[in-house]
Chain A
Amino acid sequence: MNVPLRDPYVVMKLSRLGSFHQSKLSFLRSFLKEFKDWEYKRDLFELNEHGYGTAVYSFKKKNRVYSLICFANELDENERSDRVIATKWDTAFTLFDGVPAKQDIERLKNEVPKQEFGRLSFKELTLSRANKSVRVFNHVVESLSKGVQPDRELLDKVGYLYRTTAVYGSGKFGLADRFRIKDRKEIYGPFRLEMMLVYLVRQFTFDQVNHVAKNKNPTKAVKLDPEICRNLGIGNSTGLGMAPFIVNHPTLLNNWISARETSLKKIREIKNISNEEIELFLGCLKKSIKNITSWNTESEYQIIKIKSLLSDLNKFIMHLDKEFNFKQDFAFNEMYLHLEKNYCEECIEYVVSMMMEPFDDIVTPLIQEMSSEEGKYFNIPTERTVADLKTILENKYSEILNIDFSKKENNLNFWFISKNKEEPRLANRFDENGADLEQPLAIARDIKKLYDLLSVSKNSWTIAKFLSTNNELRHVVRRAFIVEKFPYSEIQDNTIGQEIMPIDMLRLKLSFFGALKFDPRSDKWLRICMFQGAPLPEQLKKYDEYWIYN
């Protein structure tokens, strides 16, 4: 049976993309899988009694070494902030390519804590900083130093000792450009080195808290129970900075979604499912409910989404237990069709993620396809004609072409880069200044403008001729030709309309990262947790791939 790939007009709607959940394709899971055989080591740990100083951790295989260098500094309570405007943090980190010499560490000691205002070199791959969850960190130190383990309930609720506020890579602030390292097989999946940084930072937070507790009370202190450590991750505060990323990297977005869609298609095409596969699917699905019930959020929008997800999932599990016949031909296809008919988008996408769990042979090869050589698709095929381009727009943007941008509600917002923070922001163009400096992220509106211009141009003109007098829409001409080749490269929604929920764009990206506990604090930023429940570095060699559901 040939099941078609899902229609981009359905999948690429923001409400659908914002309903995605972690899966076997997620970058933090594929990172662990890739690096499980690497040799992990703590190479340096020079902290004073208060936990301030330098530490180095590494992953090594044959001649390749990646080293995380950590700098922990004293921070005044009043200076601690998760916002982008912060200039100091409890800790700052960089992932170094190789083994850092003393001179490297000395150089980086001056630069890394400055973050955006420091200068890195091509020897450094990623950069980050993190702040303590002071309440949790102090509670753990207090408990351990008295010889007792901390309150599990509090730890479960928060989920981490530290949260990062930014993770940078790919040439930012002088870091190595992607082209220098892109041929290394171990980093073929996207964001691998960013994932490595976060994973090693997590271990540093455990070592630091143990160290401080021990120094506080050398005779009585105990170490944090490894089981408790395993259930702690690294928090992350994420704002709008992430949202334009998925618009600015269309081929990369396509490759992420395409891997998911191809997995689903292949799973739906399986005729007979083994008992083992059924058990694994049901096991993951049922155990995963715990991840949803442990979300703590004050966002009304998210509370409603979680509630409907939970209610739908319970209904769906009952349906599977009581009515569904796994032994029918193409059972996963039947299950998918039933889902589409009866459940909310959040539930559909949740189950799609679960469907992948038993099928390593389908999913794993697709992970290699999730990066993109974006430069290859940059040139516009100017020998094509106006008629070609019009056809592409009609086929790939038909719903967008129906939007009336003369209506205020469809043209309400604009994306801009804030001068003082150099970060993307969204504002109402009728209330705020700055719309003349709008970023090229109003794709739907500009595609519509392009279509209108094409409609009054000669069909036989080449794109070269069309562009010679219409270069103001060049950015969307380029995109349209990309979308022709990459069906999942474009969001099929209006990113400047009244109804836009930027949080959907953030959730999409974070689901591919493998984040858990989405906790939107507004419609523009959220907190998440990464690696909660993941094996510790020393457990990696024999880890359970389904740790996320344990």
Chain B
Amino acid sequence: MRSLSEIDTVSKRSSKAAGYSWGIAEEIGKNIRLLEIFSLPGIKNLNSFFKKKKELRLENISLINKDNEANKNEYCPIIAGVNCLDQIRTLESLNEITFKKVAYPLLFLPFISRASEVIGKRIFLKMDDREFILNFNNNIYSNHTKNEIIESAENIYLKVLENRDSFEEKEWNELYKLSEETFVEENESLKQGGAGAGLTDND
């Protein structure tokens, strides 16, 4: 089995060889490592992407808007991803962002996972019918588990999820009440002697 360190290094070097700057190659190294940690096929997709990159004649996007549509060909997942990550603090307020036609969208995904950590919010990402919830770059929850190459996504939809509870107040209160059964009812003696602090707060 290849170690994550090997995956990072080889991804970085091959990205430089494929024409990206060293700084972007460093990002790709970290990203492929991340995909592989989360059991997503990073190496497989990167390798396929680099083999086809020239013939794809990809479009680069610099400034990300609410809706982004490539003119003729598909967007490069790396340049779109790195700019999304860099601009996430301003994009956050847009709440929802869409991209039409992105090549190798799985390579775009880890940038958004890292963006989730930067803004401290979960991000929901849908690439065609594949759904992902990116949890602060700690894990990725998805309905897509196939170890496959995804060459293209017609639509990518991003939604920044506000930090809200996933449960009802009633459910919380019920559980809290149950947790109270681990507490001891204090009599006067326990009130006087059980706490570490002094008996008066006005001394």
Contacts and interface: CB of A to CB of B under 8 A. Distances in A.
Contacts, number: 79
A467 B81 CA distance: 13
Interface stretch (A95-103, A174-182, A265-273, A277-285): A174-182
Nearest to A174: B3
Contacts of A122: 1, 3
Contacts of B161: none
Interface residues of A, number: 35
A127 to B, nearest CB: 12
B159 to A, nearest CB: 21
B82 interface: yes
A378 interface: yes
Contacts of B1: 121-122, 174
Contacts of A468: 62-63, 83, 86-87
A505 interface: no
Contacts of B5: 170-172, 177-178
A477 interface: yes
A382 B3 contact: no
B21 A471 contact: yes
B114 interface: yes
Contacts of B6: 171-174
A464 interface: yes
Contacts of B57: none
A483 to B, nearest CB: 15
Nearest to A441: B22
Contacts of B82: 467, 471
A382 B4 contact: no
A121 B2 CA distance: 8
A227 interface: no
Given A468-B83, A469-B62, A171 B3 contact: yes
A146 interface: no
B3 A379 contact: no
A440 B118 contact: no
B90 A464 contact: yes
Interface string A371-387: 00001001110110000
B118 A379 contact: yes
A274 B71 CA distance: 77
Given A471-B21, A471-B82, A478 B26 contact: yes
A473 B3 contact: no
A382 B86 contact: yes
A316 to B, nearest CB: 44
Contact of B23 (A178, A465, A474): A474
B70 interface: no
Interface in B21-44: 21-24, 26-27, 30
A472 B20 CA distance: 8
A537 B26 CA distance: 42
B89 interface: yes
B3 A464 contact: no
B24 A171 contact: no
A179 B118 contact: no
A475 interface: yes
Contacts of A467: 82-83, 86
A178 B33 CA distance: 13
A475 B21 contact: yes
B119 to A, nearest CB: 10
Interface in B67-83: 82-83
Interface string A456-468: 0000001111011
Contacts of A477: 23
Nearest to B114: A379
B4 A475 contact: no
A383 B85 CA distance: 11
Interface in A138-170: 170
B86 A472 contact: no
B120 to A, nearest CB: 13
Contacts of A478: 23, 26
B31 to A, nearest CB: 11
B90 A475 contact: no
A173 B6 CA distance: 7
Contacts of B13: 417
Contacts of B85: 379, 382
Contacts of A440: 22-23
Given A122-B3, A172-B6, A177-B4, A463 B23 contact: no
A383 B89 contact: yes
B2 A472 contact: no
Contacts of A465: 63
Interface of B: 1-6, 13, 21-24, 26-27, 30, 62-63, 82-83, 85-87, 89-90, 114, 117-118
11 contacts: A121-B1, A170-B5, A174-B3, A176-B3, A462-B90, A468-B87, A471-B24, A471-B82, A473-B21, A474-B24, A475-B26
Interface of A: 121-122, 170-179, 375, 378-380, 382-383, 417, 440, 462-465, 467-469, 471-478
Q: Which 3 pairs between the two chains have the least Cβ-Cβ distance?
A: A474-B23, A171-B5, A171-B3
Given A379-B114, A478-B26, 17 more contacts: A171-B3, A172-B6, A173-B6, A174-B6, A177-B4, A178-B5, A179-B4, A379-B85, A379-B118, A464-B90, A468-B63, A471-B23, A473-B23, A474-B23, A475-B23, A475-B26, A478-B23
